[in-house]
């Protein structure tokens, strides 16, 4: 309890720097996920059209996901050096798997009857994508983006090792100097960011679920 | 890159370090996962009997999982100081969710007809659990164990920062001295360990699927 009070005092005394680190942290995480989404969403759509590609693409994305974060940062650092680009690249690779899989699941789980109905109404393939498949799979896609973002905020906490800044800088400095309040001053905001992302995106998912698909008292 | 690679693995002394740290790494990861198994599987079974309780418990454990692993590890230090104990405690908490969730979903998704049949044969609740529910949900539980184990092997690299040992030590000194060869000497074995675990536990998952459930 006393430690918590000390931590808050420390945090308010160093608010500008901590805010700065929080900003860096968010920038790393969000840019990584953004670039990931730019590649992963089209790729997820592609493998839902060409099912033969699905297994190899998902296999590669899964293998990337399996690489331990600290090792990954180290490998990428050898190529890109001690810059934020290293952090963003690692987060980019980690974002691929959740978003590809969510896009793929979202598109393939659209009821074929709906697509049939749309085709029957004379919609072109692009119209079907825009007016049927995208709205119906948006909520599932958001699950992928949420998972990717939470993972990104978590991994961004080690990017200070690669000179990319972020809240990890405060945590590792605290560990080095055996300063509990410094450790907590970095860890608390990082944890809050992750929880906020989780809760915020969950709310967004509910909002993006078309009314007809929301789970109400199922009438049969 | 190739140069760094050959530098990383030509020194016999480095192999000694890799060996010792691999053992430490396995010890950290497996202890955490074993403890998580001991807690999460019984808890998952209990929750499957009390679905009303399941929702809040899953939410809490789910939020725990969203915490950055570095932060979780950091939270342990004020209470447990440094060494491998805070590392194992943080990794244990991190390993809980996938196992708990999969045990719960696995047991809940057992075909009610199968349970009915078991009950009709005069099985006691305990027999039902061990002879019907657990075997039928074993594959789902194993998949949770695989996810947990791979995750934990990855994050166990952070233990080095709190003096908990493991392959993170080589990577950490590689970062500190900006020496690529050390990063590779620690990073490659730990990556291989994670990929191999994913592969082997995936095979095991398929092997333990009851023949009737295989597609």
pLDDT in tens, B99-150: 999 999 999 999 999 999 999 999 999 999 999 999 899 989 999 999 999 9
pTM of the model: 0.88
Cβ neighbours of A204 (radius 10 Å):
15
Using left for φ > 0, alpha for ψ between -120 and 50, and beta otherwise, residue A5 falls in: alpha
Chain B residues in contact with A187 (beta carbon < 8 A): 68, 70-71, 74-75
**What pLDDT shows up at residue A175?**
87
**CA angle at B89 for the pair B87 and B90, rounded to the nearest 5°:** 65
Euclidean distance between CA atoms B29 and B36, whole angstroms: 11
Q: Which of B193, B180, B189 is nearest to B6 (CA)?
A: B180
Residue A183 in tokens: 């450790």
Query: How does DSSP assign B69-106, residue by residue?
Result: HHHHHHHHHHHH-SSHHHHHHHHHHHHHHHHHHHHHHH
pLDDT at position A200 is 92
User: How far from chain centre, in Å, is Cα B57?
Assistant: 19
pLDDT tens across A111-128, in order?
999 999 999 999 999 999
Query: What is the number of helices (H) and of strands (E) in chain A?
Result: 10, 0
Cβ atoms of A89 and A36 closer than 8 Å: no
- Is residue B25 a contact partner of residue B193, using CB atoms and an 8 Å limit? yes
Q: How far is CA A42 from CA A148, A172, B54, in A?
A: 16, 37, 36
Q: With a CB-CB cutoff of 8 Å, which residues 174-193 of chain A face chain B?
A: 174-175, 180, 183-184, 186-188, 190-191
- Whether B187 sits inside 8 A of A77 (CB atoms) is no
The C-alpha of B65 sits at a distance from chain A's nearest C-alpha, in angstroms, of 9
HSE-up of residue B138 (Cα within 13 Å, Cβ side):
19
- Distance in angstroms (rounded) separating the CA atoms of residues A21 and B3: 36
Q: Chain A interface, mutation test: which of B2, B21, B68, most A Cβ atoms within 10 Å?
A: B68
Report, as an integer, the average pLDDT of A184-204.
Answer: 92
pLDDT digits (tens, 9 = 90+) for B180-201: 889 999 999 999 999 999 999 9
Mean pLDDT, all residues of chain B: 89
CB contact under 8 A, B187 and A197: no
Higher pLDDT, B206 or A119: A119
Beta carbons within 10 angstroms of residue A2's beta carbon:
6
Summarised one tens digit per residue, pLDDT across range A11-20 is 888 889 999 9
Q: Which residues contact A23 (CB under 8 A, 6 or more apart)?
A: none
Residue A160: Cβ within 10 Å count: 24
pLDDT of residue A35: 97
Query: Cβ(B77)–Cβ(A183) under 8 Å?
Result: yes
Q: Please give the radius of gyration of chain B, using alpha carbons only, rounded to the nearest integer.
A: 20
B123: left (phi over 0), alpha (psi -120 to 50) or beta: beta
ipTM surpassing 0.90: no
Q: Residue A73: phi, psi to the nearest 5? A: -60, -45
Q: In this complex, do A68 and B191 lie within 8 Å of one another by their Cβ atoms? A: yes
Distance CA A57, CA A43 (A): 8
pLDDT of residue A217: 40
Interface touch B74/A183, C-beta < 8 Å: yes
- Rounded to a whole number of angstroms, the distance from the CA of A6 to the nearest CA of chain B is 13
Return the pLDDT at B214: 66
pLDDT at A218: 40
Residues B152 and A11: their CA atoms lie apart, in Å, by 31
Can you tell me whether residue B163 is helix, strand or coil?
coil
pLDDT band at A220; cut points 50, 70, 90: very low
């Amino acid at each position: 309890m006393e430690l918590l009070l000390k931590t808050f005092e420390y945090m308010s005394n160093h608010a500008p720097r901590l805010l700065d680190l929080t900003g860096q942290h968010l920038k790393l995480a969000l840019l990584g996920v953004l670039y990931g989404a730019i590649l992963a969403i089209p790729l997820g759509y592609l493998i839902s059209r060409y099912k033969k590609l699905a297994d190899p693409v998902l296999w590669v994305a899964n293998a990337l996901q399996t690489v331990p974060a600290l090792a990954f940062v180290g490998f990428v650092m050898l190529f890109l050096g001690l810059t934020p680009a290293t952090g963003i690249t690692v987060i980019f690779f980690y974002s691929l798997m959740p978003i590809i899989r969510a896009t793929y699941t979202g598109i393939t789980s659209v009821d074929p009857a709906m697509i049939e109905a749309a085709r029957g109404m004379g919609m072109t393939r692009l119209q079907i994508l825009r007016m049927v498949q995208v709205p119906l799979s948006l909520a599932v896609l958001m699950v992928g983006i949420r998972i990717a973002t939470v993972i990104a905020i978590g991994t961004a906490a080690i990017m200070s090792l690669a000179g990319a800044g972020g809240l990890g800088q405060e945590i590792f400095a605290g560990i080095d100097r055996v300063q509990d309040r410094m450790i907590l001053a970095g860890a608390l905001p990082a944890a809050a960011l992750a929880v906020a992302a989780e809760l915020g995106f969950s709310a967004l998912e509910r909002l993006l679920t078309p009314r007809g698909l929301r789970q109400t008292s199922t009438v049969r | 890159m190739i140069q760094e690679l050959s530098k990383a693995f030509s020194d016999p002394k480095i192999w000694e370090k890799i060996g010792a740290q691999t053992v430490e790494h396995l010890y950290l990861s497996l202890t955490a996962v074993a403890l998580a198994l001991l807690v999460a599987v019984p808890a998952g079974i209990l929750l499957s009997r009390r679905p009303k309780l399941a929702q809040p418990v899953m939410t809490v454990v789910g939020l725990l999982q969203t915490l950055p692993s570095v932060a979780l590890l950091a939270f342990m230090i004020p209470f447990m100081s440094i060494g491998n104990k805070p590392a194992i405690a943080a990794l244990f908490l991190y390993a809980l969710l996938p196992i708990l969730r999969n045990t719960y979903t696995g047991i809940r998704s057992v075909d009610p007809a199968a349970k009915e049949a078991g009950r009709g044969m005069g099985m006691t609740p305990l027999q039902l659990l061990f002879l019907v529910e657990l075997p039928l949900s074993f594959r789902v539980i194993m998949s949770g164990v695989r996810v947990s184990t791979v995750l934990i092997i990855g994050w166990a690299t952070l233990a080095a920062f709190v003096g908990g040992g493991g392959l993170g030590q080589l990577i950490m000194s590689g970062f500190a001295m900006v020496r690529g060869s050390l990063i590779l000497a620690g990073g490659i074995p730990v990556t291989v360990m994670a990929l191999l675990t994913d592969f082997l536990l995936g095979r095991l998952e398929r092997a333990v699927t009851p023949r009737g459930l295989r597609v």
